[in-house]
Amino acid sequence: MIDFTSLRLSRPLEMLHPLGRVGLVALSTDINIESDLARMYPEGVEFFTTRVRNWNPLTVLNLRKMEGGIGDASGSLLPGTDLDVVIYACTSGAIAIGESRIESLICEGNPGSKVINPARASLEALKFYGARKISVLTPYTESMTREVVGFYEGFGYDVVRMGGFGFEDDTAMSFISLDDIVEASMEICDEESDLLFLSCTALRSSEVLEELEERLGKPVISSNQVLVWLSLRLLSYVGRVEGYGSLLRTGL
């Protein structure tokens, strides 16, 4: 039998991810959000992903079916390792299931972590800008878009214009071209709006935020951008993230 050599470390354990660890509960059909977050998070912040089963077509009833898997998904995120923030990454899902229920389910697997979702993060961004009148663009059907709009109206916001691409397949939403997102945004953003919100973590809208703000002359926010922004604020990050809209450039 070969002898076992017991070794001792000569140096202290290294500190990884010094600016924070973020847990990401992503939808099983979302192929965009991880790419978006990897582009926007600064060095020193790391995120770790698990996925929760969801179903197409995208309807309120199918979104609510996700509820049963959220706790288990959250619990699979680095068990025994502290996470500073845990993201539930579905705008329409947070609205359909309810924010308080989402937070309760996430905390079953990660007690003590701060929990955010795109709907809540977007509300915080609206407060940051002092916006009251907004335009909303989604990749969803009319019925799903109206559910989203109703959420903001319930908080007293005046949605002056809305539109959607009519998609029911969450994965397919990521294949909408950047040019189509820009053209639709220019059409949907009403002149009276204080701000344009691009809903859905699967939509690649973060890549065109700078262009849209320059062309529209007003703030433009997206689901993944506001998630990065709010999580960085919760991590007490002080700095600028360039290239993804004024919220990340000046809001930290």
Domains and CATH numbers, the chain: 20-117+227-239 (3.40.50.12500), 120-223 (3.40.50.1860)
* Lowest model confidence (mean pLDDT) among 5-19, 26-40, 195-209: 5-19
| Tens-digit pLDDT profile for residues 48-58 | 999 999 999 99
Residue type, 56: N
Q: What is the dihedral of CA 173, 179, 182, 185, to 10 degrees?
A: -50
Separation between Cα atoms, residue 98 and residue 119, nearest integer Å: 10
> DSSP letters along 136-150, please?
EEESS-HHHHHHHHH
Structure tokens at 180: 């189509």
pTM of the model: 0.96
CB-based contacts of 228: which residues, under 8 Å, 6+ apart?
Answer: 36, 37, 40, 41, 241, 244, 248
- Name the burial class of residue 171, with classes exposed (0-12), middle (13-18) and buried (19+) by CB atoms within 10 angstroms of its CB: middle
* Cα-trace Rg, the chain: 19
Q: Hunting for tokens 């017991």 — which residue is that? A: 6
- pLDDT beyond 90 at 15: no
**pLDDT tens-digit profile of 82-93?**
899 999 999 999
The tokens describing 93, both together, are: 């899902």
